Chains A and B, each alone.
Chain A
């Protein structure tokens, strides 16, 4: 990096810090602790507080709900180095993301790479502005780890496809405005070759959703049914029957997102949280030496993973990243997050078992613990991730 470049970046850092200081409400500078703290956008979106609204609108107006997207699509137009600076300044301040969205994390990157100009102009600005909330139609009852065996069919009828079938584990489908969906457009082709990636409105005739009650007691996922849903062929992203390319590219982003789901480096150290319930000895050490060791080992691994996530971004920027590396990160990040919650449950003891009391914030900890068990299943199981690493990165035979 030349000296002028780094001077420019330093100036950007100072300006960014000052802007965040002036514009991020104090209430938005602590970690989200409940679903209401997360703003997802969409046609029916409601803000849970005034600071949440102010923070979202200010960031949206600056294009910083999607800092690295081009300005013409509602983004902030930041380059990779500037984006890293913004992220690190937000992290230092503890600033929450102003908008959470599958449109930002998953569909956006896929549209930027595979969408045509009309699709980008139509959809990206509405994602950036939080106007449309998206859901993902990938898994089916008989197509989980073996996603490419999906059977939801889209039959050609003039300028339209007519879609019939069902999806499962569709996150927040009951709140979503639009869906990005994998459908089989050629049932005679080999399983990877007859799939298309298509977008449609969830209010279309023939779409119904049914929430699934999970072990956490929450229903973040739905079953989604399509009964003759009519969708213009112009809503296909990329080439018809080549949807698997788009699907795989999007999955890389999904896996990167899920691997980052843990609350890395945010808030108090895990050992201190544990001390609240376990107590400390005369030297101030956690009064359970085995648990203390587990936590310290967790902390080592978590810090190392954070360095690896940072390096993954730097490698991508330098053009040295392996495209399947997100599978490696997804595997480790999700297993680590499960470890975090096993530790939190062990540290919490009896207090972490209450399910409905005010005291326990309606069982926030045990419900979150149970939620993490999905981390190593959703977006590709740990076993599938290891298979991808073995095959695509290590080039091991067979499988």
Chain B
């Protein structure tokens, strides 16, 4: 498979870019932040996303979706990254849709997937518990109670958690924190008794929540996949999320870089354009190379996911690790090269720095994924 966009993927990119740059430039995020918007994203835009087939991009056609692949999801994520548009696309259309499609039984799929495709249902994965992404450390307890289970524990960094209609909760039904066996995924109604949700306003002004479950009762039908054996499903779903976030970070890095290069070509000091200074030229060139390499690694990972989710782990680890270091470098150079302007809230560059920091933590940072690669290679 060539590591370039196909004609169809280029068309998809153009239509996503057209919509997003027109309706949701960075000022859109700024407005949502400053108005303390209770939803945290534009419902009207989400409606447009559904109409264009993006909400159900990964949903199979038999359930009303577009039946496209992870490369296509990455194409949309990259465009989202360019303008930092807050959107349910990541949590609902990529992560939750993949979890339901990969682990759901016939009844679960036909109940939820069409609603995701139509844009009428928001869903999210609740995974992290501690300060860092450590999926195997999952310790939210689910104990058998009657025909179902009773869930107790807390989750953090639940994207869109305060607006979701469906929570997909990773819990421990057996074993202890750190073990692969004993993990189970549950579909939980956020309105159920015992669920409390605190919206957490984050540095990047994107949606996130802390969720507490106190003896929340769910039926046996709420299990997604197999009891005690969710690790494999979870690996795949998380890798899909990682690939998507890497693509968002490529878009973010590329955009912040383009803005910075434009600034180097217009800002004058010492009677010269600052882009004439070799010290800045070489740093800009290094960053360009970093972004291109990370872009290639991300396309490689998305194609690997399309080929076989179960065999994509190393390619995904490389992509997410690279995306983390590249985006971190891009936003830091962006602020530095914009000088004092880069420090002002009025200027957009800071929004990119803030979002990059959150993306870095989402589904594991560069250190986490570098460690995964070392383990996979046996040293």
Interface residues of A (CB under 8 A from B): 269, 271-272, 274-275, 280, 284-286, 292-293, 295-297, 299-301, 303-305, 307-308, 310-311, 314-315, 317-318, 320, 325, 328, 331-332, 383, 385-387, 389-391, 393-399
Contact = CB atoms under 8 A, between A and B. Distances in A.
A301 B281 contact: no
Q: Which A-B residue pairs are the 8 nearest by beta carbons?
A: A271-B379, A398-B276, A304-B297, A311-B3, A390-B281, A308-B296, A389-B285, A296-B374
Give the interface SS of chain A, mostly helix, strand, loop or mixed. Answer: helix
B232 interface: no
Interface stretch (B91-99, B141-149, B286-294): B286-294
B379 A398 contact: no
Contacts of B282: 383, 386-387, 390
Contacts of A284: 378-379
Interface in B27-77: none
Q: Which of B2, B281, B379 has the most CB of A within 10 A?
A: B379
A307 B284 contact: no
Interface of B: 2-4, 261, 264-265, 272-273, 275-276, 278, 281-282, 284-286, 288-289, 292-297, 299-300, 314-315, 317-319, 321-322, 369-371, 373-374, 377-379
Give the interface SS of chain B, mostly helix, strand, loop or mixed. Answer: helix
A394 to B, nearest CB: 6
Contact of A275 (B4, B281, B373, B379): B379
Given A310-B296, A328-B289, A292 B3 contact: no
B288 A394 contact: yes
B377 A300 contact: no
A243 to B, nearest CB: 27
Nearest to B276: A398
A310 to B, nearest CB: 6
Contacts of B319: 304
9 contacts: A285-B374, A286-B374, A292-B379, A300-B369, A304-B297, A307-B3, A307-B297, A308-B296, A396-B261
Given A331-B285, A386-B286, 16 more contacts: A271-B377, A292-B379, A301-B322, A308-B297, A310-B3, A310-B296, A315-B4, A317-B2, A328-B285, A328-B292, A331-B286, A332-B293, A389-B285, A389-B288, A390-B285, A396-B264
B281 A300 contact: no
A213 B293 CA distance: 36
B285 A394 contact: yes
A330 to B, nearest CB: 10
Given A396-B276, A398-B272, A387 B281 contact: yes
Contacts of B369: 300
A304 B378 contact: no
Nearest to B6: A1
Contacts of B293: 301, 304-305, 307-308, 332
Contacts of A308: 292-293, 295-297
A179 B18 CA distance: 54
B297 A397 contact: no
A269 to B, nearest CB: 4
A280 B375 CA distance: 13
